[in-house]
Amino acid sequence: MKTGIITTFIIALLIFSVSNAQSDFEKTQNFKKQYKILEDAIKDASSLEECNVIGESIIKFKNEFIADKELLDKALYPDNFESAFEKLERALEIRKGDFTQITELRTEIGELKTRVTELSEENQNLLAQIKALNLQVKKDAATIASLKRLIAQLKANIQQRDMLVRDIIDSLLTEFVKTPASLNEAEKQAIITKVDSRNLFYNIERTIMDNIQFMKVTQMTPNDLREMKKQYREFNKLWKQIGPRLSDVYLTRQDKVAQIANIDGMFYEWNSRLNDEIWTQVNQLFREKNLAVLPFRSGEQFVNSIYAFIDDEIKNLGVKNKDESLKTFYTFTDSVYFKTVQPVWIPILIENNLMTEENKDSIEAKIALWKEKLSPPSKFYWIYYLAGGIVIVALIVTYYIKTRNKQKVIPEQQEEA
């Protein structure tokens, strides 16, 4: 900012150096040269204060050449002296408007930054308390209640801090009106100053680390994991928008470029841990029921493990006791797959691209095949269908005969009467 003000001051000195002894041609050329310098100064201005100094320079510049107004009206055609200054003043007002918005935004972001810092400190304190309670060997009702309360508070704090940091990123994105390659040095420096003043990189790293720590200190439910995956997706999407632009702005700052790459890695770790937690909990459902399904960590592995388990069960039909085979089938289907895996976990897996609808259909087709092999339709079933058909036909014929006999009896009774 100081450099910009000094530059503007020099501009003003150049304007005052116009000599009265100049020829008309020299006066015109000098006016155009000074005018161009002021135009460029407006474009390169990096603060509202600098704009105000340029505004004073424009007034002095105008006063300096007011005596040559008639000469310049002709030389500036199709513009004239007044319209040329109107253009210059309009450009300056537009530039001032940019900085007014930024000043308002800066005030808002300053408040966000304060709240983000407070939440980060609270989160560290909550994490320490939760870890201490988890280490207690005996947990009475009061300890468990305290633990639940602290975890709920930490979860709410992390979500609130996530949103505040995302607001800071959003505000920076609005300033990337131009691509980083087309920003001039003053604009790049302004963005760097804002990123540094808001501790943006630190706050993003802190947010990701707190989310990972939260996963370590608490048992997450399917809804917790679904919610955190959503937070991850939204946060990561914003980072992918701004990360590469910041890399371009920080091309000459290797430490910052390395920090941006580190944040990319942290997002990857956060997502990997979430996926691992989801797959671990799905694996656990089968292990809890002593079903020997091979471990899996992807949709494809999930399908292959289920296929291998069912193929083994089908292969052992007739080798294993029939009741044992049936028990395994009903444990797999009624106690695990259709009770919890399909209604609770598969929607989460599909919406997070961890498996596909085709994977799900494939597994359920395999379960249907298993059921068919376990209890095949009897080849004598057609006998039952035939017998049923005969009974139905007999009933219809009987009903018809009875109806016809009844119709014959009525006329005979009428004749006797």
pLDDT digits over 153-166, tens only? 888 888 888 888 88
φ/ψ of 136, rounded to 5, equals: -65, 130
Tokens of 285: 């459902």
CB atoms within 10 A of CB 132: 11
CB atoms within 10 A of CB 190: 19
Model confidence at 15, in pLDDT bands (50, 70, 90)? low
pTM: 0.60
Q: Which of 108, 217, 87 is nearest to 158 (CA)?
A: 217
Model confidence at 379, in pLDDT bands (50, 70, 90)? very low
Max avg pLDDT among 16-20, 89-93, 180-184: 89-93
| 319, 333 contact by CB (below 8 A) | no
Q: In angstroms, what CA-CA distances link 35 with 14, 44, 69, 164, 299?
A: 11, 14, 14, 44, 66
pLDDT above 70: residue 103: no
pLDDT averaged over every residue in the chain: 82
Crossing angle of the two packed helices 141-173 and 185-197, in degrees rounded to 10: 170
**pLDDT tens digits along 200-214:** 888 899 889 989 988
**pLDDT tens digits along 64-101:** 899 888 888 888 888 899 999 999 998 888 888 777 66
